[in-house]
Structure 1
């Protein structure tokens, strides 16, 4: 026996990854349905090694009797159909930005704040932004030890964070550059091939971008409301995997050996930190993996109680699909959801 699972936005990059991870982790499924827009209805999509699912129309689907919806169709679509599924009694784990900062919707990373799942009021749980997820997983054990009061982070975010169209643009521009063809810019504000763009999402009134704002407010909601975050988010010519250079300033004295031990023992973290050529993890090595990898751990002598580190993770897995599935697993583990 298992649960009746609906995957909303199943034909997108994250939706396909959710289906893949559900199969990989042998999630307890009684029945599963793939949902997408009317134009995708009737298409076939893989689930595991042997099963093929026929995509059903999200607009006409009845969620009554379904246990869990894993939703990643885009914020505007989610704003309509996640509440519809929740009203029908389905627990919705929403991967879009729409519900994250609503005060009565828990924003959860299972390794960091699973207890917030007990606060579900509207049958909706929000999945955080990809860049926030990997950072708070890495910082949680350090916060427990030293109490972080300030974070300065620069991100190096893959084009996969902009979906398939972002990855396609990197591929097409790279090929055009190498053969001398003209460059077409459609999805980013400047050429992304062989370039870095310090601009993700729209600009805010204070000059920050919305991606930078997300890292600030989401970290406060997930980890500690008293932490201040200053982020600079940069799109880089990588297909999958976000890198982050993070400096923290803590209230208590920082001990490097204790920090290393805490990270080695932390759930969801792999510390790979050798002070030698290649003794660190990069985006290409993190692609397809589940952990937040931490390298380049060192004391920052420029501030009191400072520590610096490098963190990388697969933005499509831990930054989106995997965290969504892990929330569902945690709900079951904590007996917060029952089978129909």
Structure 2
């Protein structure tokens, strides 16, 4: 026997990926309940060879649900996650609503799987921001080896991170509405996204950083080590799926590029593709649909003592969201926090 699993936001990009990944990884599901807002009630989603109709979140009784994967945004999560947890389900939330709550663990299983035990305080586990998830998977084994002091990261984030409307906007602007020299009126983004890059993700804060950049700073400290200093520049690029990051790291102890390459090859969740030749690296197009966090362009940074530079790429809908949530659920089972139903 398996578990009763609910997915809130099952019709969205991430919700559909959660359904795919639960099936792909043969997660022990007895009953899968897709949930959405009332306007999406009755909409059909696929789970393996089954077609399921979405139920209304507002009227569903969560009694007897073991795990609830939340992917419906922060406002919905703030209202519903505590209510669902009160019914006995463990909530794994993909939004930012509870990431910075000291009583809610923020988990990337390859990095801090032991933290899932903290779910008992509120019945909620938070999934990190998509750009943070892939970053800490690459940083963790290097931090263990040489101690990270400081990280400078520039992200190149796909439009899927901003939802379906953002993907549609890139498609519409690209497929024929764009004429060189003629401005395209943006809707989802602040500026044209086709054939352009936008150094602005989420709202601006008083110090000039955006909230997306702040999330990377705060979440890396919470997941990996509060002593690590990190500064980020987050950029939206005209890519449909797959986030990329240029990462510069300063260590406490010496570490060579060859040593880092060997360490990363053995690290969970990491796949090294680092040939110093044309095409000997991974780009976003190649990472789509894959579970791995890819690391390329590993080299020594001579501008600081004990420095390395990396290129990190991952499918943001998978490792950055849906896959990480399912891995958290697997960690709960593997560590004995969730007993299989009789």
- Given the two structures, how large is their TM-score scaled by the length of structure 1? 0.98
Q: Distance in 2 between matches of 1:285 and 1:23?
A: 22
Superposed, 1:250-329 pairs within 5 Å as 250-329=251-330
Q: Equivalent residue for 1:76? A: 75
Q: Equivalent residue for 2:22? A: 22
How far apart are residue 224 of structure 1 and its match? 0.3
Conserved 8 A contact 1:67-1:339: no
Q: Distance in 2 between matches of 1:196 and 1:41?
A: 36
How far apart are residue 180 of structure 1 and its match? 8.8
Q: Does 1:39 align with 2:39?
A: yes
Conserved 8 A contact 1:72-1:94: yes
Specify the SS of the correspondent of 2:310: strand
How far apart are residue 339 of structure 1 and its match? 3.2
How far apart are residue 182 of structure 1 and its match? 6.2
Q: Equivalent residue for 1:207? A: 208
Q: Distance in 1 between matches of 2:179 and 2:54?
A: 38
Q: Deviations over 1:86-133 (max 9, x none)?
A: 000100000001000000000000000011111221110000000000
Q: Deviations over 1:48-78 (max 9, x none)?
A: 1x20111000001111111000110011011
Q: Distance in 1 between matches of 2:290 and 2:118?
A: 30
Unaligned residue ranges in structure 2 (runs of 5+): none
Q: Equivalent residue for 2:5? A: 5
Q: Equivalent residue for 1:151? A: 151
How far apart are residue 181 of structure 1 and its match? 7.7
RMSD: 1.1
Q: How many correspondences in the alignment?
A: 339
Q: Deviations over 1:281-325 (max 9, x none)?
A: 000001111111000000000001100000000000110000000
* Range that drifts further, 300-309 or 169-178: 169-178
Q: Distance in 2 between matches of 1:179 and 1:148?
A: 45
Q: Distance in 2 between matches of 1:201 and 1:181?
A: 26
Specify the SS of the correspondent of 2:178: helix
- Given the two structures, how large is their TM-score scaled by the length of structure 2? 0.97
Q: Equivalent residue for 2:53? A: 54
Q: Decide whether aligned partners of structure 1 residues 40 and 149 sit closer, same or farther in structure 2, where only a CA change above 3 A counts.
A: same
Unaligned residue ranges in structure 1 (runs of 5+): none
Superposed, 1:91-130 pairs within 5 Å as 91-120=90-119, 121-130=121-130
How far apart are residue 255 of structure 1 and its match? 2.3
How far apart are residue 184 of structure 1 and its match? 2.7
Q: Distance in 2 between matches of 1:274 and 1:179?
A: 36
Conserved 8 A contact 1:297-1:308: yes
Q: Does 1:63 align with 2:62?
A: yes
